């Protein structure tokens, strides 16, 4: 499976992040909530675009359904949902994209596309390579929706702003996203980097 990303996550990320599945799932649950909030924000900025509003509402509902699925799995493992914290990956992407921003709506659509694409890549890695049977099943179940969402946001950007302008911005922010991911520190989260990651075998239970 190919992904519209400049930086590819190494397979070794899976073996590291699955050492703390409850922390990974807690972060994932919060990511689903933030994805729903992003869809709500785009609705608020584009209330006159009836078709877009309808599609975004469906995405927001689906993200909340995924949130419930992930929280159920988290609680089944004895974990619980803690307070939401900043997603360093998304926050950095939003902040640094503002340096060359011409349209907030265009950037929100493109950033949503890139975040969904990165999530899709990570879900695919977990579905293919996790040693945890339930994690493999869970992330495999979410793959089709994630693929549809990343495609939707790119299509919406092209529809609203024209293919030439949208594709130029996608290419620009895609490069930026790759640079950000490559420099992120490792953590037990969906969008972590590999900088400072523990050596293989270190800290294993």
Distance CA 10, CA 105 (A): 32
**Could you tell me if 20 and 41 are in contact, meaning their C-beta atoms sit under 8 angstroms apart?**
no
Q: What is the mean pLDDT of residues 27-45?
A: 97
pTM for the whole thing?
A: 0.95
Predicted confidence at residue 139, as pLDDT, reads: 98
pLDDT for the residue numbered 1: 62
Which of 29, 8, 4, 192 lies closest to 113, judged by CA? 4
Buried b (16+ CB within 10 A) or exposed e, 167-189: bebbeebbebbbebbeebeebbb
Phi, psi of 195 (to 5 degrees): -70, 125
DSSP assignment of 85-112:
---HHHHHHHHHHGGG-S-HHHHHHHHH
The residue with greater pLDDT, 77 or 199, is: 77
* pLDDT confidence bin for 205, thresholds 50/70/90: very low
185, β-bridge pairs = 195
Q: What is the pLDDT of residues 95-140, one digit of tens each?
A: 999 999 999 999 999 999 999 999 999 999 999 999 999 999 999 9
Helices (H), the chain: 12-17, 21-45, 50-76, 88-97, 104-129, 133-161, 163-183
pLDDT bin (cut points 50, 70, 90) of residue 2 is: confident
Query: Is the pLDDT assigned to residue 51 strictly greater than 80?
Result: yes
The CATH fold of domain 14-79+88-183: Ferritin (1.20.1260)
């Amino acid at each position: 499976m190919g992904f519209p990303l400049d930086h590819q996550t190494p397979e070794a990320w899976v073996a590291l992040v699955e050492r703390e599945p409850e922390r990974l799932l807690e972060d994932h649950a919060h990511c689903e909530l933030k994805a729903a909030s992003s869809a709500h924000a785009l609705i608020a900025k584009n209330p006159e675009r009836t078709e877009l509003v309808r599609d975004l509402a469906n995405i927001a509902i689906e993200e909340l359904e995924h949130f419930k699925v992930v929280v159920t799995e988290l609680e089944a493992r004895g974990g619980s949902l803690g307070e939401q914290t900043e997603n360093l990956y998304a926050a950095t992407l939003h902040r640094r994209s503002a340096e060359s921003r011409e349209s907030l709506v265009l950037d929100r659509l493109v950033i949503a596309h890139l975040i969904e694409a990165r999530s899709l890549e990570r879900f695919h890695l977990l579905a293919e390579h996790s040693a945890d049977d339930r994690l493999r099943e869970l992330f495999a179940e979410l793959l089709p929706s994630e693929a549809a969402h990343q495609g939707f946001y790119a299509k919406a950007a092209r529809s609203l702003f024209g293919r030439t302008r949208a594709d130029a911005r996608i290419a620009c922010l895609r490069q930026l996203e790759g640079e950000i991911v490559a420099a992120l520190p490792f953590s037990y989260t969906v969008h972590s980097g590999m900088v400072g990651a523990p050596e293989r075998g270190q800290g294993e239970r």
